[in-house]
Amino acid sequence: MKKPPSSAARTEGPSNRRVAVLVYDGLCSFEFGVAVEMFGLARPELPAWYGFELCAVERGPLRATGGLQVRAEQGLEALARAGTVIVPGWRGVDAPVPPALVDALHRAHARGARLVSFCSGVFVLAATGLLDGRRATTHWRYAGALAARHPRIRVEPDVLYVDEGSLLTSAGSAAALDLSLHLIRRDWGPHAANRVAQRAVVPAHRDGGQAQFIPSPLPAHGEPFGKLLEWMRRHLDRPLPLAELAARAKASERTLLRRFAEATGSTPRQWLIEERLGRARELLEGSSLSVEQIADRCGYASADTLRHHFRRALKLSPARYRERFSRQQAG
């Protein structure tokens, strides 16, 4: 059987590049802006980029948060041409979804279009029934309402986004950026996603399973602690035992553990595992260093230790990850 091309080799993009973004009265301006920034800007450095159009749910002009007005030349009929349909939020978790919109989304999905929701936009996808029996997420504030109103959906309240193939959902607000970059990475490979993230000045990659929020993101003495985290990032190749970190933070080990949990929701050990894994992924994607060299630069005791963490976290070996996501292969 012929081996399918890796995502790194998919430089031609999706088969249908048309992205249709729904606009409606009460439009969520931030989520709409994310859709425009990620998919609607011209990108001459990335030829054959997405086509982009707005599709009005009802006749306009349409009001958006912040006193803005939006006009769309297309109506729901444009969904028949789209390869990807984005629902950038919704006007309220209790706001009804028009039957005409439900029907248009059903037809688009049956034809092969991907349906994507940002934040409360998941309530629109939920109204279609297409999410029944599938995983989905939304802003943590709305997760309980989603589960109560749509008990057949497997709601994941803590993650940034969920990819169910042709149905993708993101958590609140900024998680729309993460899901968008994930989709771009799926379509065009890591090099394109990195370029888009660089232009938008946002992190190039955060895993969908990352927690939506940390209860106490700003601990006391935040600036010195932030400097400690930056120092740790610059020295991932070193062992960084707890005693050394506590000494650098001028705190007892117990106090450091408490402050670390307050600031990151994690322990120093787990934080370092994730940071080292992220650094290793960057080097595998963008360098020609050997797995052994990457292990050394990222503070792993050996290449076997790096392989262990890769298989546990990503279900891939470093070599297989490089084969899929190398920027050099992606062009």
- The answer to whether the beta carbons of residues 181 and 197 sit under 8 Å apart is yes
Mean of the per-residue pLDDT values of the chain: 87
pTM tops 0.85 = no
Which two tokens mark 7? 């995502």
CA distance 76 to 107: 11
CA distance 40 to 51: 7
DSSP 8-state symbol, 300:
-
- Please determine, for residue 9, whether its predicted confidence score (pLDDT) is greater than 50: no
DSSP 8-state symbol, 52:
E
CA distance 148 to 143: 9
Characterize the bridge pairing of strands 18-23 and 84-88. Answer: parallel
- The answer to whether the beta carbons of residues 29 and 36 sit under 8 Å apart is no
Segment 187-214 shows an average pLDDT of: 78
- What phi and psi values does residue 231 have, to the nearest 5 degrees? -65, -40
Q: Tell me the CATH architecture of domain 7-200.
A: 3-Layer(aba) Sandwich (3.40)
CATH number of 270-330: 1.10.10.60
- For 236, other C-beta atoms within 10 Å of its C-beta total 17
- The answer to whether the beta carbons of residues 127 and 103 sit under 8 Å apart is no
**Is pLDDT larger for residue 312 or for residue 295?**
295
Which pLDDT tens digit goes with each residue over 96-121?
999 999 999 999 999 999 999 999 99
DSSP 8-state symbol, 166:
S
Which two tokens mark 21? 């973004």
CA distance 13 to 11: 6
pLDDT computed for residue 314 by the predictor: 79
CA 276 from chain centre, in angstroms, equals 20
pLDDT computed for residue 47 by the predictor: 84
Which pLDDT tens digit goes with each residue over 209-262?
666 665 444 444 455 677 888 899 899 999 999 999 999 988 999 999 988 887
Residue of 92, 91, 88 lying closest to 118 (CA atoms): 88
pLDDT band for position 143 (cuts 50, 70, 90): very high
pLDDT computed for residue 212 by the predictor: 66
- Hey, CA dihedral for 157, 312, 264, 29, is it positive or negative? negative
